[in-house]
């Protein structure tokens, strides 16, 4: 294991340049460089060409961190896209967009119960177990939510 003085030497000598190097691939180069120095501190024996080893480790980690960030941003963007909870049907009298918006305005615990019962087919006993409430509370929230939806749809 590398001693603190030796590790300090490599940090003083290369940390700033490694952060600049990593910045081309990721938004948090400091984290990548810090992880690389942690890995260096655990290397047994010390790599023969420490600087080259550090640049390779930082490059690989920065590319990986950049990919992860892009993947996360992609998934977050997809999650924020409005998804209709209904399939449009010309014969239906429901406006899918309007009903989706109304469902989204309900309190989360009420919406959860309505969706679990109507779309999931769960009984009120199953919903109560899932939400940690009584069967009566689950049914009461379901009934109140449905009444609110009916009122808004008029």
Task: Provide the domain limits for residue 40.
Answer: 4-80
Is 27 a residue whose pLDDT tops 70? yes
CATH of the domain at 134: 1.10.10.10
- Please, what is the average pLDDT of the chain? 88
| 49 vs 115, higher pLDDT | 49
Q: What confidence tens digit (pLDDT) does each residue in 32-48 have?
A: 999 999 999 999 999 99
How many structural domains compose the chain? 2
State whether 73 and 19 are in the same domain. yes
Q: What confidence tens digit (pLDDT) does each residue in 57-114 have?
A: 999 999 999 999 999 988 887 766 655 555 555 555 666 677 778 888 899 889 889 9
Q: What is the DSSP string of 31-48?
A: HHHHHHHHHHHH-SS--S
The pLDDT of residue 57 is 95
Residue 6's pLDDT band (cuts 50, 70, 90): very high
| 126 vs 100, higher pLDDT | 126
State whether 69 and 101 are in the same domain. no
CATH of the domain at 18: 1.10.1740
Instruction: Tell which residue, 59, 34, 36, 32, has the closest CA to residue 47.
Output: 36
131 within domain boundaries? yes
| 124 vs 152, higher pLDDT | 124
Please state, in angstroms and rounded to a whole number, the distance separating the CA atoms of residues 141 and 132. 13
88 within domain boundaries? no
Q: What is the DSSP string of 56-92?
A: HHHHHHHHHHHHHHHHHHHHHHHHHS---SS---TT-
61 within domain boundaries? yes
Would the CA dihedral through 45, 9, 49, 52 be positive or negative? positive
Q: How many CB atoms lie within 10 A of CB 25?
A: 19
State whether 27 and 76 are in the same domain. yes
The pLDDT of residue 98 is 76
């Amino acid at each position: 294991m590398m001693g603190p003085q030796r590790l300090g030497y490599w940090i003083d000598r290369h940390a700033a340049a490694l952060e600049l190097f990593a910045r081309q691939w990721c938004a948090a180069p400091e984290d990548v460089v810090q992880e690389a120095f942690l890995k260096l501190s655990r290397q047994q024996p010390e790599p023969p060409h420490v600087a080259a080893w550090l640049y390779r480790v930082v490059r690989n980690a920065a590319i990986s961190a950049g990919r992860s960030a892009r993947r996360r941003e992609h998934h977050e963007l997809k999650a924020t896209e409005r998804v209709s909870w209904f399939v449009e049907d010309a014969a239906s009298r429901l406006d899918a967009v309007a009903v989706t918006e109304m469902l989204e305005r309900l309190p989360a615990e009420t919406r959860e119960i309505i969706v679990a019962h109507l779309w999931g087919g769960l009984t009120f006993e199953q919903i109560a177990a899932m939400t940690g409430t009584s069967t009566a509370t689950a049914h009461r929230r379901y009934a109140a939510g449905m009444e609110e939806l009916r009122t808004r749809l008029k």
